[in-house]
Amino acid sequence: MNILVLGPQGSGKGTQAGRIKATYGIPHIATGDMLREMRDVPDELGRELKEVMDRGDLVSDELMIELIRSRLSRGDTVAGFILDGFPRTMPQAEALDELLRELDRDLDIVFDFQVPDRDVLLQRMLHRAAEESRSDDTPEAIQRRLELYERETAPLVEYYRTHQANVVGIHADRTVEEVFGEIGRSLQSVEARA
Ligand code: AMP
């Protein structure tokens, strides 16, 4: 099962992706986690990543596409994967289409995590920042990430709809259990169709 999760920071998609991984035994490919590991290496790339990520900006499409190309080429993704945090821009979405074509694979489902109230997201992120005191979670960076999500990433939902992907909207402003229940039902109906 090849799954894509789209949604702003704070929408809970990472938590849900972890649950899907545990239930279905497919890898959770979270670009934010991959980049944080690379950022913490004391070299030139690590320093550049730190600057970009601390500002809440996006890492270059070129680097991201290379990263995903090599990750999706690994054998553990053959039975399926959960892509979380990529694509975030239109060029990334187009590159993913091409890569999946090359690998002769398709996205089975795209979850669109929706939290209509921007303030709810902001509060969640600020709360997490205070609890975990992460250097990349300053209020300015959080604002910037939300802005970039709305400008660069939210339009991808429409892109997937017009490319006939199976897009499922998720009301993410509920408990983890409720959201996972809905996700499980969608995945079961995908499996039933396969
Ligand atoms: P995340 O944990 O998914 O919120 O990602 C943390 C940070 O990593 C983001 O704020 C970006 O700076 C960077 N990042 C993660 N995925 C991407 C991507 N697909 N394109 C560009 N930057 C990304």
CB-based burial label for 41 (10 Å; 0-12, 13-18, 19+): exposed
3-state secondary structure of 145: helix
3-state secondary structure of 119: helix
Q: How many whole angstroms separate alpha carbon 169 and alpha carbon 113? A: 6
Q: Which of 6, 50, 83, 88 to mutate to test the pocket of ligand 1 (most atoms within 8 A of CB)?
A: 88
| Residue-wise pLDDT tens digits, 101-116 | 999 999 999 999 999 8
- The count of structural domains within the chain is 1
Q: Which of 6, 40, 53 to mutate to test the pocket of ligand 1 (most atoms within 8 A of CB)?
A: 53
What domain range includes position 95?
2-193
| Residue-wise pLDDT tens digits, 140-165 | 999 999 999 999 999 999 999 999 88
Which residue shows structure tokens 């670009």?
31
| Residue-wise pLDDT tens digits, 178-187 | 999 999 999 9
Residue nearest to atom 2 of ligand 1 (CA): 32
Quote the mean pLDDT of the chain. Answer: 94
User: What is the band of 95 on the pLDDT scale with cuts at 50, 70, 90?
Assistant: very high
Which residue did the predictor score with more confidence, 83 or 122? Answer: 83
Q: What is the per-residue pLDDT for 135?
A: 66
Residue 24's contacts (CB-CB under 8 Å, 6 or more residues apart) are 1, 80, 187
Index of the ligand 1 atom closest to the CA of residue 53 = 12
User: What is the band of 64 on the pLDDT scale with cuts at 50, 70, 90?
Assistant: very high
| Residue-wise pLDDT tens digits, 36-50 | 999 999 999 999 999
Distance 96 CA to ligand 1 centre (A): 16
Index of the ligand 1 atom closest to the CA of residue 33 = 2
Question: Can you give the CATH number for the domain in which 103 is found?
Answer: 3.40.50.300
User: What is the band of 58 on the pLDDT scale with cuts at 50, 70, 90?
Assistant: very high
